[in-house]
Structure 1
């Protein structure tokens, strides 16, 4: 089986047409929405049902998985006392593991998917910090479509996030 990437994208403030053009450019067939709250006060074109209708008019399937893979889980046990999400807890939860398994199954089946959230900068979103790192552990490296429409590899995004200190190296998990 040939390699095909799993992409991520953040809608940010992009116009719907620009967003669609990016999805088409990368051959996306399925958009996986991982927003915990799939609505946008300032960009209503990205509200769940409006986005679903728009994408399906253009031949792209919309799948909501924010309940399983969202960055703000409904489970209060996923938060530190100060209210910040604890990704180390989230990744052990059954709902999250089921979402990851669905995404891995789509990848194995060769489906061309993009995981979407609202944040256009991948280093500022749980797409890279949580989903990307869990998939990396399983040998699947995300390709993040950034705010400029360029692609960044999961390792590159995590290196940026860690201010140039490599989180992983080409020779294993230990920094060189």
Structure 2
């Protein structure tokens, strides 16, 4: 894909070789890890240190940004009364906006980056519901590499998340997205 675009990818049940094939196919130069905790008990090749080494061997730079763009922030005010992460609250926080600014810089320079998390399906992850929705509102093109290795644009993924339903309440106010489960 030519021009400016930011990609996202989740490793899901992929092995590292298949994951790497996708990064190469889409000519990714920087992998931005947006997991709050950059480790996987179930899939150790995706632990921070292992990723850094393996990606470097393939001329891809690893960057951890889970502290600013992760889906489970330390700031307890970002959680609702049910313990779910309230993405609308996160979008107002300095740590998040600083992370977004770094992504905007990469986008403006046409640097091929992919935001990575663990979920294979973009509709299950904060890559689409938090980061993607924020960037889409800023007119930044987002392409999600899905669980099958195909591209889906942000609008398609959000349609999957909302099941095509309106995302406004009875009075026309936007309804916010949250994490699928409670963390607090």
Q: Give the equivalent residue in structure 2 for 1:141.
A: 141
Q: Which has the higher contact order (CA 8 A, sep 6+)?
A: 2
Q: Give the equivalent residue in structure 2 for 1:40.
A: 40
- For the residue of structure 1 that corresponds to 2:62, the secondary structure is strand
Alignment check: 8 A CA contact 2:71 2:126 kept: yes
Give yes or no for the alignment of 1:131 onto 2:113: no
Shift of 1:82: 1.9
Shift of 1:77: 1.0
Shift of 1:5: 1.4
The runs of at least 4 consecutive aligned structure 1 residues that moved more than 4 Å come to none
Q: How many residues align?
A: 168
- For the residue of structure 2 that corresponds to 1:42, the secondary structure is coil
Q: Give the equivalent residue in structure 1 for 2:89.
A: 89
The CA deviation string for residues 73-106 of structure 1, in whole angstroms up to 9 with x for no partner, is 0111111122110111100000000000000001
Q: Give the equivalent residue in structure 1 for 2:177.
A: none
Q: TM-score normalised to the size of structure 2?
A: 0.88
Give yes or no for the alignment of 1:158 onto 2:158: yes
Give yes or no for the alignment of 1:15 onto 2:34: no
Q: TM-score normalised to the size of structure 1?
A: 0.92
Q: Give the equivalent residue in structure 2 for 1:101.
A: 101
Separation of aligned partners in 1, 2:166 and 2:55? 37
Separation of aligned partners in 2, 1:16 and 1:22? 10
Structure 2 unpaired stretches of 5+: 168-173, 175-184
Q: Give the equivalent residue in structure 1 for 2:178.
A: none
Separation of aligned partners in 2, 1:163 and 1:15? 29
Alignment check: 8 A CA contact 1:123 1:161 kept: yes
Alignment check: 8 A CA contact 1:39 1:46 kept: yes
Shift of 1:165: 3.3
Structure 1 unpaired stretches of 5+: 168-173
Alignment check: 8 A CA contact 1:123 1:129 kept: yes
Shift of 1:166: 6.2
Alignment check: 8 A CA contact 1:159 1:166 kept: no
The CA deviation string for residues 120-146 of structure 1, in whole angstroms up to 9 with x for no partner, is 100010000000011011101210000
Separation of aligned partners in 1, 2:80 and 2:154? 26
Shift of 1:164: 2.2
